[in-house]
Amino acid sequence: MRITKISILSIAAITATLFTSCDSDDDVATIAVETPATYSFQRNSATTVSYSGQSTRIAMAEEIKSGFKNTALTETQLDNMFAHIEGASDFTDADLNASDKSVRIKVAASADFFFANTTVAAAIKADFDGFISSQVNDVFPVWNSNAAAGVAGQIQQAGGGTVRYVNAKGLEYDQAFAKGLLGALMTDQILNNYLSPAVLDAGDNRVDNDNAVLESGKNYTTMEHKWDEAFGYLYGAEADATAPVLDQDSFLSEYLDRVEGDSDFTGIAATIYDAFKLGRAAIVEGDYDLRDEQANIIKENISMIPAVRAVFYLQSGKGNLTADPARAFHALSEAYGFIYSLQFTRQPGTTQPYFTKTEVDAYLTELMTGNGFWDVDTATLDRISDEISARFTFTTAQAAD
């Protein structure tokens, strides 16, 4: 069953037509904007597509995530990776060290949600700082000790399976960090920054795009580049983004692949990719209404990713609470991060997320009440699942498959 709403346009095979009246009522010029076969655009036989900064931040985020399992690292080292300064030897990759990019600076930094809300932006950045600090100071020292209710340490999955490293409430900080970053960095930058008309149309961007005024020393207009930067936060780890295979990073790419793999949501990957292609083509042709229609399709469908996976992991955790607490806590830690990401989603055609920060914080507080995952009951997990599902247009049963 296909449950994502694509009522705005059917993307798979689409031709959008812009009519421009001429002097005679019978004389109409028609400009057709067709969905390109791939995300490939050229000017003067050279590519106009560029999103290297997004690829760099994805690679940085991967190494930071891995650092949560490296007990040899200090809090300062992980902090420095997160808030990298150009030239600092923070990463194992020399190219990342040479980069002037930073992950932290782009967390909760979108034009629409946080430009005028710096207090909340600072609080969100502090959450990620806290995940790092707590991992190093609360979990690393008891890495080889057994966890229990109210006691941080390790807990092994049933049957000699994977060992998980949790805080006193059963939360894995690496999962909270990575799944939260999927929202606070990738989702926020795509939906609430680069696909925002406030960014795409800033200053003289429309006039410059209409007249093919390129950025200095570049082969793209500013508007083209902003759209590409949104594209890069999803496809920036692909070896060939003209033929994306997904599951190429630990963030949106991986979890779009997971959602696509559920038969209830099959087709969502093509919907998103086609909208990116057609929106970029619309920019080339100066059709800004069509561009914004595609942006709304992307906003709706990317917002589905953390929602579906939050429900999936809440239900997975519920199913293992008694028989395999380590497996349950791992799933619930992922759910925690995906719930955190819901505040960065975007209802198409509005300036609102699907869930406010206040709503998200209430859910997370509820999950962490008392001894957290050690105490959580199945009724709570079902209720949160149903409330998330109801805000979108899928059921808990569909997401739980």
pLDDT tens string 112-164: 999 999 999 999 999 999 999 999 999 999 999 999 999 999 999 999 999 99
On average, the pLDDT of the chain sits at 93
pLDDT score recorded for residue 305: 98
Token pair recorded at residue 308: 């579906």
Q: If we measure between CA atoms, which residue out of 354, 361, 347, 348 comes closest to residue 388? A: 354
pLDDT score recorded for residue 14: 40
Grouping H, G, I as helix, E, B as strand and the rest as coil, residue 43 is strand
Token pair recorded at residue 244: 């994306």
- Summarised one tens digit per residue, pLDDT across range 50-82 is 999 999 999 999 999 999 999 999 999 999 999
- Structure-model confidence comparison of residues 179 and 11, the more confident one: 179
H or E element at residue 31: strand 28-34
pLDDT score recorded for residue 396: 98
Give per-residue burial for 287-322: e unless 16+ CB within 10 Å, then b: bbebbbbbbbbbbbbbbbbbbbbbbbbbbbbbbbbe
Grouping H, G, I as helix, E, B as strand and the rest as coil, residue 72 is coil
Tell me how long the chain is.
401
State mean pLDDT over 358-380. Answer: 98
pLDDT score recorded for residue 35: 94
pLDDT score recorded for residue 12: 38
pLDDT score recorded for residue 31: 65
13 pLDDT more than 70 = no
Strands (E) across 167-229 are located at none
What count of Cα atoms within 13 Å lies in the side-chain half-sphere of residue 370?
Answer: 7
Grouping H, G, I as helix, E, B as strand and the rest as coil, residue 15 is strand
The C-alpha R_g of the chain, in whole angstroms, comes to 22
State mean pLDDT over 384-393. Answer: 97
What percent of the chain stands above pLDDT 90? 92
pLDDT score recorded for residue 16: 45
- Summarised one tens digit per residue, pLDDT across range 276-328 is 999 999 999 999 999 999 999 999 999 999 999 999 999 999 999 999 999 99
| pLDDT band at residue 7 under the 50/70/90 scheme | very low
- Summarised one tens digit per residue, pLDDT across range 83-109 is 999 999 999 999 999 999 999 999 999
- Summarised one tens digit per residue, pLDDT across range 227-260 is 999 999 999 999 999 999 999 999 999 999 999 9
17 pLDDT more than 60 = no
pLDDT score recorded for residue 32: 84
Grouping H, G, I as helix, E, B as strand and the rest as coil, residue 146 is strand
pLDDT score recorded for residue 334: 98
- d(CA 160, CA 62) in angstroms, rounded, equals 27
For the entire predicted model, the pTM comes to 0.93
- d(CA 24, CA 11) in angstroms, rounded, equals 33
- d(CA 339, CA 360) in angstroms, rounded, equals 6
**Residues contacting residue 59 through CB under 8 Å, at least 6 positions apart:** 93, 96, 237
